[in-house]
């Protein structure tokens, strides 16, 4: 099968199309013929040599795909060959075939474009498991999400609105701000022009008159740690899921204790298979009906053929995209319409 492999840690140019053996499947897995694969920042970190796959996982990058089931493991029930699926992976998505534990599959309805479906598993699982599972967000609370125009950000806006959560996002341009408002963001802060801590306390006002975000979903890390804690209200919860702004920072414990603030850091890829299956089951039960109805939709900025993986990584690194960049692995199929927010 054709796959994208990493010749050596480095820039986008180290991504190469190679011929690899078609993988075998375990008894509880299915083999998916990949139609499209989502690009995530974790893929960029892996390419650079900063984010190794979990033990036992393939070195082929790619954490989410859409496609059709080509083969069933002997213990798999509830699925059949030919079913259209989207899947959460530990790796291997940048390839023509990938083995997937059956519990990490989501059914793609006829109403959903198969290409666009590739942009949903990772963002839905990440956002839901962190704001609901880790932070226990409640309807009516305020959520702050950094990077509102990203794949995570655009998904978080839609999920928040669906759950009855009020959401404010940070962005770096008016173009992204306008799109986030159109998705339903209650407020948008341009971090280049405004102090987001000050603005959050102006925007996020609770019924008792206190201010600050109830939950913050952060992709920046060290650079924003102190500011994020200041932006939280009493009993606020900060969940860090990325380190684009570094991995080390100092923080006064006193700033957490009296206002009962908490800080957690999580990753999705390194979780055991059993936890990923639980997360996908929660996504299927709580969010997938909204995907089927169209209340939550994939936001696709651009699609590129598998052979253009270096170009796709460059596009994500440059930060101009709104929503997801996808690789079309089945290059014989027509691509979905990209939104191309300019």
Beta-bridge partner residues of 300: 324
Identify whether the C-beta of residue 89 lies closer than 8 Å to the C-beta of residue 49.
Answer: no
**336, part of any domain:** no
Half-sphere exposure in the Cβ direction for 159 (13 Å, CA): 30
**130, part of any domain:** no
Q: Quick count: other Cβ atoms within 10 Å of Cβ 311?
A: 15
Report pLDDT digits (tens) over 76-120. Answer: 999 999 999 999 999 999 999 999 999 999 999 999 999 999 999
Residue scoring higher pLDDT (249 or 283): 283
Query: Encoding tokens for residue 314?
Result: 């460059």
Which of 243, 265, 287 represents a domain boundary (last residue)? 265
Give the CATH number of the domain where residue 145 resides.
Answer: 3.40.50.720
Which of 213, 237, 265 represents a domain boundary (last residue)? 265
Report pLDDT digits (tens) over 191-250. Answer: 999 999 999 999 999 999 999 999 999 999 889 999 999 999 999 999 999 988 888 889
Identify whether the C-beta of residue 88 lies closer than 8 Å to the C-beta of residue 112.
Answer: no
Domain that holds residue 159: 135-265
What is the gyration radius of the CA atoms in the chain, in angstroms? 20
Q: Can you give the length of the chain in residues?
A: 342
CA dihedral 233, 148, 34, 29 (to 10 degrees): 0
d(CA 1, CA 15): 16
d(CA 205, CA 269): 35
Helix, strand or coil for residue 197?
Answer: helix
Domain count, the chain: 2
């Amino acid at each position: 099968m054709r796959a994208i492999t990493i010749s050596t840690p480095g820039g986008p140019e180290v991504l190469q199309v190679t011929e690899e053996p078609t993988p075998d499947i375990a008894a509880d897995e299915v083999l998916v013929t990949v139609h499209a694969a989502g690009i995530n920042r974790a893929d960029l970190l892996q390419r650079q040599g900063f984010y190794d796959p979990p033990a036992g996982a393939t070195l082929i990058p790619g954490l989410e795909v859409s496609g059709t089931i080509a083969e069933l493991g002997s213990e798999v029930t509830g699925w059949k060959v030919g079913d259209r699926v989207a899947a959460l992976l530990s790796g291997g998505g940048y390839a023509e075939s990938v083995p997937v534990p059956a519990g990490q599959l989501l059914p793609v309805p006829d109403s959903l474009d198969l290409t666009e479906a590739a942009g949903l598993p990772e963002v839905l699982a990440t956002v839901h498991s962190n704001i609901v599972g880790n932070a226990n967000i409640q309807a009516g609370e305020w959520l702050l999400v950094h990077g509102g125009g990203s794949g995570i950000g655009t998904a978080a806006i839609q999920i928040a609105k669906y759950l009855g959560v009020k959401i404010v996002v940070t962005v770096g341009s008016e173009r992204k701000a306008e799109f986030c408002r159109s998705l339903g963001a209650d407020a948008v802060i341009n971090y280049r022009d405004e102090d987001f801590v000050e603005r959050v306390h102006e925007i996020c006002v609770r019924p008792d008159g206190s201010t600050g975000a109830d939950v913050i979903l952060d992709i920046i890390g060290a650079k924003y740690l102190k500011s994020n804690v200041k932006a939280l209200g009493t009993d606020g919860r900060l969940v860090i899921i990325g380190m684009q702004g570094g991995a080390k920072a100092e923080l006064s414990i006193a700033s957490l204790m009296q206002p009962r603030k908490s800080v957690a850091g999580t990753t999705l890829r390194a979780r055991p298979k059993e936890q990923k299956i639980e997360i996908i089951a929660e996504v299927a039960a709580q969010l997938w009906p909204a995907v089927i109805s169209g209340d939550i939709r994939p936001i696709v900025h651009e699609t590129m053929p598998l052979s253009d993986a270096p170009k796709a990584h460059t596009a994500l690194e440059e930060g101009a995209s709104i929503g997801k960049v996808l690789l079309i692995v089945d290059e014989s199929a027509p691509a979905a319409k990209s939104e191309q927010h300019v």
